[in-house]
């Protein structure tokens, strides 16, 4: 779901530092705004970037399916527990129910705030894969370093991103191995049966991940990782005119959205 897609689009050629700054600023903007119009404009910008990147929106399909349950849960929790003045339903629990009868209420403010949080999550989850799918991991690490992040931390971030596709392949392999043993709970079983069957998937996945992390640590030690304070790079990055223009556009857009958020 989050792997580099080769391409020659403007977004692919953009300097990784610009994309990292774009990710950070838009994320801050999304979390501080409390207005649907502002979030809608940010979401529109992200969709335009998806179009420019040349990557099909369908690539987000599986990613967003995982997000739907979380969004619905957040909306439900905020609806039930966020108070407000404009009451829609009160009480939630009928009066004739013993002990807890007459408790709870649903307010318009709670529903709107839950929808706002859900929209925030959706916007962020559409932005992050866009940056990762249009940037090579080596360039992403170099971008973090050029922005002042110590290489150790940049290496940790990019290594974690590299491991996501590997974990996905391992999950597919383990699932296929279980199918060969006539274990069909993940396909044909009910919800409770699937929950009971997850240890058969999680245990080998965790054991394989621990073994792989040990091998990565050994390989780093063999190559004297971190032995020198200053590191050199085979491939370098440099800002060009288009990078500066797009960076100014993003800064101006975010400044305008901050102002609009305050005005609304």
Determine the Cα–Cα distance for residues 236 and 229; give it in Å rounded to an integer.
18
Chain segment 116-165, per-residue pLDDT in tens: 888 888 888 888 888 888 888 888 888 888 888 888 888 888 787 777 77
* Cβ-contact 246, 24 below 8 angstroms: no
* Cβ-contact 115, 75 below 8 angstroms: yes
Determine the Cα–Cα distance for residues 164 and 180; give it in Å rounded to an integer.
25
- Dihedral-angle region of residue 127 (phi above 0 means left; psi in -120 to 50 means alpha; beta otherwise): alpha
DSSP class per residue in 30-44: HHH---HHHHHHHHH
Confidence band for 180, pLDDT divided at 50, 70 and 90: confident
Confidence band for 245, pLDDT divided at 50, 70 and 90: very high
Asked, as a colleague might, if the bond just before 155 is cis with ω within 30 of 0, I would say: no
Confidence band for 244, pLDDT divided at 50, 70 and 90: very high
| Cα angle for residues 107, 111, 112 (degrees, 5° grid) | 115
Look up tokens 């857009």; give the residue: 253
| Cα angle for residues 258, 261, 264 (degrees, 5° grid) | 150
Question: What's the pLDDT score for residue 102?
Answer: 54
| Cα angle for residues 77, 82, 87 (degrees, 5° grid) | 115
Quick one: tokens of 198? 């997850």
Predicted TM-score (pTM) of the model is 0.75
Look up tokens 């998937």; give the residue: 201
């Amino acid at each position: 779901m989050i792997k580099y897609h080769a391409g020659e689009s403007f977004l692919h050629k953009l300097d990784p530092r610009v994309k990292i700054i774009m990710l950070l600023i838009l994320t801050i903007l999304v979390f501080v705004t409390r207005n649907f119009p502002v979030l809608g404009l940010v979401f529109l910008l992200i969709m335009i970037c998806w179009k420019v990147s040349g990557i099909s929106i369908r690539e987000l399909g599986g990613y967003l399916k995982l997000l739907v349950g979380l969004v619905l849960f957040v909306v439900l929790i905020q609806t039930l527990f966020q108070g407000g003045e404009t009451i829609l339903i009160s009480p939630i629990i009928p009066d004739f129910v013993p002990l807890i009868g007459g408790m709870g209420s649903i307010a318009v403010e709670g529903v709107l705030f839950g929808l706002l949080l859900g929209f925030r999550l959706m916007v962020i989850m559409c932005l992050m894969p866009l940056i990762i799918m249009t940037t090579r991991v080596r360039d992403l690490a170099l971008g973090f370093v050029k922005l002042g992040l110590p290489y150790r931390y940049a290496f940790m971030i990019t290594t974690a991103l590299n491991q996501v596709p590997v974990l996905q392949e391992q999950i597919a392999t383990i699932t296929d191995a279980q199918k060969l043993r006539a274990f069909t709970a993940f396909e044909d079983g009910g919800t409770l049966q699937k929950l009971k069957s997850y240890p058969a998937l999680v245990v080998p996945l965790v054991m394989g991940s621990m073994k792989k992390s040990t091998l990565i640590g050994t390989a780093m030690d063999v190559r004297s990782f971190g032995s020198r304070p200053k590191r050199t790079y085979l491939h370098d990055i440099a800002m060009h005119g288009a990078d500066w223009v797009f960076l100014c556009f993003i800064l101006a857009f975010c400044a305008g959205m901050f102002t609009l958020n305050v005005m609304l």
